[in-house]
Amino acid sequence: MSTPLLRCRGLEAGYGASQVLFGLDFDIHAGEVVALLGRNGMGKSTLIKTLVGGLRAQRGEIHFAGQPIHRARADLIARLGAAIVPEGRQCFPNLSVREHLIAFAATRNSAAAPWTLERLYALFPRLAERAGHMGGQLSGGEQQMLAIARALSTNPRLLILDEASEGLAPVIRAEIWRCLALLKAQGQTTLVVDKYVDKLLPLADRNLILERGRIAWQGSSAELDAQRGLWTRYLGV
């Protein structure tokens, strides 16, 4: 198999003396969609923070796009091509939709098919209609679309979504899933955290289940679908 885009080996991280992640080993290959699953408090957000340089790994190694990044700063990791759609969206209330997209595109990676404003608006026609509106004037669903479009505008090698469908109406959630399926069809490598396991299954190529900071199980969506015991044991569904 080809060299993975992201490789974690023996990764440990936490907050001061409170260790949260214990010896994680996993890979993400280019073009894959990987779902990160687990009940609340199992370490999903901590892992994502560690991958994007918001939290320093205490032990172990992370390689991304051929570079060791376990001691790298967040801006370098972003420049290597990791883009996060953070929990809570974090749009700027006083920047317009268009300004968000232009500001983030300033740090873009080169790509064969770059994300232009036109492509982003074609993916999310709602954002085209709202181009002049301020972040603070958008609905929760529109803010979520903007957070995804803003991350895409950097032409990410790896798109990371932390609870992207959290707190949204079902019709808006469906729009977010539709967009992620389109991105997958275009070959976008993605790591996604979400609690709607049934929606993630058709999208994800592989799934990682975190249990108290350890990978309790990893496998394909077909395997996870067939093993409902894993859902009750580790996912509480």
Ligand X SMILES: Nc1ncnc2c1ncn2[C@@H]1O[C@H](COP(=O)(O)OP(=O)(O)OP(=O)(O)O)[C@@H](O)[C@H]1O
The smaller minimum CB distance to ligand X, of residues 4 and 14, is found at 14
**55, 129, 163 from 52: Cα distances, Å:** 8, 32, 16
CA–CA separation, 162 vs 153, rounded Å?
Answer: 18
C-beta closer to ligand X: residue 11 or 123: 11
89 near ligand X, rule: CB under 6 A: no
Q: Of the two residues 32 and 194, which places its CB atom closer to ligand X in the complex?
A: 194
Q: How far is the CB of 163 from ligand X (least distance, A)?
A: 7
Q: How far is the CB of 113 from ligand X (least distance, A)?
A: 32
Q: Which residues of 134-167 are buried (b: 16+ CB within 10 A; e: fewer)?
A: bbeebeebbbbbbbbbbbbbbbbbbbbbbbbbbe
| Assigned token pair, 8 | 């974690």
Residue carrying the six token digits 């990764």: 11
What is the distance between the alpha carbons of residues 186 and 209, in angstroms, rounded to a whole number?
Answer: 26
Output the CA torsion 31→71→92→139 (10° steps): 40
Size of the site for ligand X (CB under 6 A): 11
Nearer to ligand X, 11 or 127 (CB): 11
46 binds ligand X (CB under 6 A): yes
Minimum distance from residue 44 beta carbon to ligand X (Å)? 4
Looking at residue 213, the DSSP 8-state letter turns out to be: T
Q: Which is nearer to ligand X, 40 or 110 (CB)?
A: 40
Residues 13-42: x where in contact with ligand X by CB under 6 A, - otherwise, as a string: --x--x-x-----------------x-xxx
Interface with ligand X includes 188 (CB under 6 A)?
Answer: no
Considering beta carbons, is residue 42 or 164 the nearer one to ligand X?
42
Three-class DSSP category at 134: strand
From the CB of 38, what's the least distance to ligand X, in Å? Answer: 5
Owner of token pair 């609905």 = 139
Where do contacts with ligand X occur on this chain (CB under 6 A)?
15, 18, 20, 38, 40-46
